[in-house]
Chain A
Amino acid sequence: MKFNRKTKLDSEIPTASMPDIIFMLLIFFMVTTVLREYSGLPISLPKAKRIEKLKSKRHTAHVWVSKDGLISIEDKIYKADGVRHIMYEKRVEDPQLVVSLKADERAKMGLVSDIHTELRKADALKLNYSSKTAVD
């Protein structure tokens, strides 16, 4: 038995506004994505389980520490005692500053400890040891 359609609806998706919708999406993605500001140093991060996400990129300052003991902030190489100055300035600008320490897993603790001392002197106390998620 054949079914006959009683009503013949003329249904079509309106495509006239398609470019506008796509452009809006495009602009949304362009505005929301933040491009990486600094390239930093080549490091392999340590792995940890109990990790937490950093809340906002705007309140984060990165400190890179390579395995050879180089310290890089905003793509400039600093000595351990130079960290205090730049971090103090950043802390004054932004009281909510969180320092993200991107140190290589082969870095020596002596240097990391020096950075701790410098950060304490600069009053930048919120620290985050950047690490990858460990899988069992």
Chain B
Amino acid sequence: MARERRFKGGEIPTSSMADIAFLLLIFFLVTTTIDMDKGLGMVLPAEGEELEINKKNILNCLINSSGKVLLGGEPVDIKNLSKRVRQKLAENDKLVISVKAHGASGYKDYVKVIDQLKQANATRISIAESD
């Protein structure tokens, strides 16, 4: 015995489709975060690539464990570092700045120093291994 069908021809209501799709769209817009990675760029020297540089063209920049900076033998305030480096670069454009940080010094100070050097448009930055 076959059962009698009561409804003939059912339809999915499509009028609310747009609303549902909108809701999904808003959900995805809200939940996704576009966080761009940004930071200070640096290119490390290749392993075993050690260049002999004339002593006149080296500017030592030392960071001690309490975050104080010594530029070419003189203590310098971090805020004035870019100004000083710019002066030195104007005197000698072949200058290579060698940054050397004490092992116990903070990464924060190191980033500050690199940032200051970048602000002084110093392109030749060398990172000496800290001891």
Contact = CB atoms under 8 A, between A and B. Distances in A.
A50 B119 CA distance: 6
B51 interface: no
Contacts of B115: 48-50, 131, 134
A112 B104 CA distance: 10
B107 A52 contact: no
B50 to A, nearest CB: 11
A14 to B, nearest CB: 12
The interface residues of chain B, by DSSP majority, are classed as mixed
Contacts of A22: 18, 21-22, 25
Given A50-B119, A106-B106, A109-B107, A29 B28 contact: yes
A131 B110 contact: no
A26 B119 contact: no
Interface in A14-63: 15, 18-19, 22-23, 25-26, 29-30, 33, 35-36, 46-54, 57, 60
A120 interface: yes
A50 B112 CA distance: 10
B90 interface: no
Chain A: interface size category: 35 or more
A117 B130 CA distance: 10
B38 A120 contact: no
Nearest to A17: B18
A105 to B, nearest CB: 4
B28 A26 contact: yes
Contacts of B102: 109
Contact of A112 (B46, B107, B118): B107
Nearest to A62: B37
Contacts of B34: 33
A125 B107 contact: no
Interface of B: 14, 17-18, 21-22, 24-25, 28-29, 32-47, 63, 101-108, 110-112, 114-115, 118-119, 127, 129-130
